[in-house]
Amino acid sequence: MRELTRAEEQVMQILWSIEKGFVKDLLEKMTEPKPAYNTVSTIIRILERKGFVDHKAYGKSHEYYPIISKDAYRTFTIDNLLKGYFDGSVASLLAFYAKDNSLSENELNEIVETAKAE
């Protein structure tokens, strides 16, 4: 799996939320200023080449759907973050986040309880 650019990730976030759609459907979900139709079409074809998206053809129209789940990409991204910035240590990541964001003891306990529940 490869990292996505910001534009690719934006398209994937929409596709994950709608599950499948045509380029026009993706454009409808984008915030202003919206990119051109051809720009979104190019991004979706790049995502196909990268193995994130596939399509079903209806004549000249294509309905796109994700073949990499949001959870799989999230795991990949977090693993890269951990390896690149925290020597693979979740504890280091949480310690950094707790310190940088001044988490309360209650918030830290909530993180632990959430982790136990999953």
Burial class (CB in 10 A: 0-12, 13-18, 19+), 93: middle
The domains of the chain, with CATH numbers, are: 6-66 (1.10.10.10), 87-118 (no CATH)
70 to 18, 79, 87: CA distances (angstroms) = 12, 14, 24
Structure tokens, 108:
């830290």
Whether pTM exceeds 0.85: no
Give me the pLDDT at residue 115, please: 77
**Region 43-66 average pLDDT:** 97
For residue range 77-109, what is the model confidence (pLDDT) as tens digits?
999 999 999 998 888 888 887 777 777 788 878
61 to 16, 21, 35, 56, 113: CA distances (angstroms) = 20, 11, 19, 8, 47
